[in-house]
Structure 1
Amino acid sequence: MLVALFRHVVEEGALRMVQFGTLVNVLGQADMGDSAPVRGMIHTSNGQFEAYVKRVIHEDRLAAELFAFLIARSVGLPVPDAVVVSIPPAFGPHPIGFGSIAINHPNLFQGMRSYSPTARSLLRAWPKVIDAVCFDEWIGNSDRHPGNVLSDGNGNFWLIDHDKAILAELMQPDALSFFNELFNAVDSGKFGPERDEYRRKVEETMSIYQSIGLNGVLANAGGIQQANGVPEMADWLGMRQSHLLKLGCERVPVQQMGIFP
């Protein structure tokens, strides 16, 4: 059983960056993201914590969350601490979930499906926004709507909800993601030297991402790497990594000079 597998690898230390916990109390339905998480208390070897827990039906979607978390942490992007959660039968039919330790800040974008002018302005000023744009392109994330970006209102952001990323069976590794919502939110209105600088930073970031030792990063995912369909996801991420600079150039193409003054 997947729960037993994860308990074993966590106890053995194979998941060095991810905790294992048990849901002990449900506090209510969470009004964040679009994967119907619950807000609850989880018990771990380090104590009890409030967390947002999404029930997982398919092993590959748990792997998507874990892989995205590990890659984000490896490139210095802010994501909440991750927990693989055992869910007792009293709380529902699915025995495992992915948990994010609660961040006690209000979410400016709660309930919104598109980025407001205020949200765009705050995101454009965020020092890590290009890192986040390139990260979403790498993992093929087309679901970065405002509900999946947490903010404290003071220019700090956290990225959540990656279960719809790394769809290896649907997206070619050398093709742009179907949508890059974060790119669309921060790119509009950039022209001339400003857009040239933006393109330069995207290329620089993609070059850095392309040099990361992905196998070492994903090794922290422990036994999930042997689950059904997951090796193909890891292979897809590796193949896509080799195309990141090309994808960055395609996402921010060189501006065409007009023929009229």
Structure 2
Amino acid sequence: MAINHPEVQIANAIPPLRAKETRKGTTFQAAIRDTSNVRREAFLKLLRLEDIAREVLCAVLARMLGLPIRQAYYVYVEPSYVPGHRAGNRHNLAFGLEREFYPTFRIANDQINEVVNRWPEALVCGVLDEWIFNTDRLPKNLLYSDIRTYWMIDHDEALPNSAQPEEVCYSQVLHVLADGRTELELHRIRRDALSVVERLNNIDWNDVRTYVLLPDVATYGINIHVEKYIRFLSSRIKYMPDILTQSLGIRQLNMKLENYISSTELKEEKP
């Protein structure tokens, strides 16, 4: 399988698992062995099926857009490997994200504007975050390295159950890109952002289901949560032009630019 293939893979955790306390709970660093018997290093989170579905779906969508996120895994974790910690579900299934091969760094608050504005894929990331209603990208969930490589991590706050399809989440990355821009520049950003929306609109949800709902986990009920998120995203797509206008802080709504993508061209997946 190609290294950038979007399909989630399956692996088993190899002890010992090293616990790391974070602001959101415990993450484990461990070796895993995939179905090809390849050993890799990964970060694991013991989550409910609903939360695993959220993480794997966002990882798959990011990879389908060519964004930098490491390989996502369904990882079986033997309970005896994590004494004192409860499994997130009765299947002992965890979410895993492959670890980077070289040192990465979290972005300091005073470096956010510089780091984001020099990232070529920032706009695509910002539009994706707005679509998946991710309010928690910066500064902790975008890593970068000395070789100017960026990695997206953690989507545990995306796709909240309380979000409405037409609601604006005010993507942090879009906020950085819009900061200090003139109205004309904002309209140009919106025009480019709408070309990303067109890519989102062309995503084949059956492909997504194939990448996420692997036969090994199909009987666990994770499909219920995946389908719920797909319904939200396919409903939200038609609102994205107006959402982007608000998220970017555009005030002069009557300003015209060529090559705008009409919101009437966007389609909603049929239930």
Residue 173 in structure 1 maps to residue 165 in structure 2: yes
Residue 99 in structure 1 maps to residue 96 in structure 2: yes
Corresponding residue for residue 83 of structure 1: 73
Q: In angstroms, what is the RMSD of aligned CA positions?
A: 2.5
Residue 209 in structure 1 maps to residue 205 in structure 2: no
The amino acid of 2:78's aligned partner reads P
Any idea what SS the aligned residue of 2:130 has? Answer: helix
8 A contact 1:174–1:247 mirrored in 2: yes
> Which structure 2 residues correspond to residues 214-253 of structure 1 after superposition, within 5 A?
214-222=205-213, 223=218, 227-253=223-249
179, 187, 190: which one pairs with 1:188? 179
Q: 1:21 offset after TM fit, Å?
A: 0.9
The amino acid of 2:14's aligned partner reads V
Corresponding residue for residue 56 of structure 2: 66
Extract unaligned runs of 5+ from structure 1. 1-14
> Which structure 2 residues correspond to residues 11-160 of structure 1 after superposition, within 5 A?
17-26=7-16, 28-30=18-20, 34-46=24-36, 47-56=38-47, 58-92=48-82, 93-94=86-87, 95-109=92-106, 115-116=109-110, 118-160=111-153
Any idea what SS the aligned residue of 1:37 has? Answer: strand
Report the CA distance shift for 1:173/1:42 in structure 2 as closer, same or farther (over 3 A): same
The amino acid of 1:247's aligned partner reads I
Any idea what SS the aligned residue of 1:200 has? Answer: helix
Instruction: For residues 167-211 of structure 1, give each alpha carbon's deviation from its aligned partner in whole angstroms, at most 9, with x where no partner exists.
Output: 2x301011112x422222332222244333222212222232223
Moved more, 245-254 or 88-97: 245-254
Q: 1:102 offset after TM fit, Å?
A: 0.7
Report the count of equivalent residues.
236
Extract unaligned runs of 5+ from structure 2. 254-271
Residue 161 in structure 1 maps to residue 161 in structure 2: no
Corresponding residue for residue 266 of structure 2: none
The percent identity for this pair of structures is 22
Moved more, 215-224 or 28-37: 28-37
Q: TM (normalized to structure 1)? A: 0.80
In 2, Cα distance between equivalents of 1:119 and 1:154: 17
In 2, Cα distance between equivalents of 1:71 and 1:156: 19
Instruction: For residues 29-87 of structure 1, give each alpha carbon's deviation from its aligned partner in whole angstroms, at most 9, with x where no partner exists.
Output: 3477845311111111231111011111x211110011101111111111100111111
Q: 1:159 offset after TM fit, Å?
A: 0.8
Any idea what SS the aligned residue of 2:70 has? Answer: coil
In 1, Cα distance between equivalents of 2:6 and 2:116: 31
8 A contact 1:51–1:99 mirrored in 2: yes
In 2, Cα distance between equivalents of 1:37 and 1:255: 42
The amino acid of 2:153's aligned partner reads I
In 2, Cα distance between equivalents of 1:16 and 1:175: 28
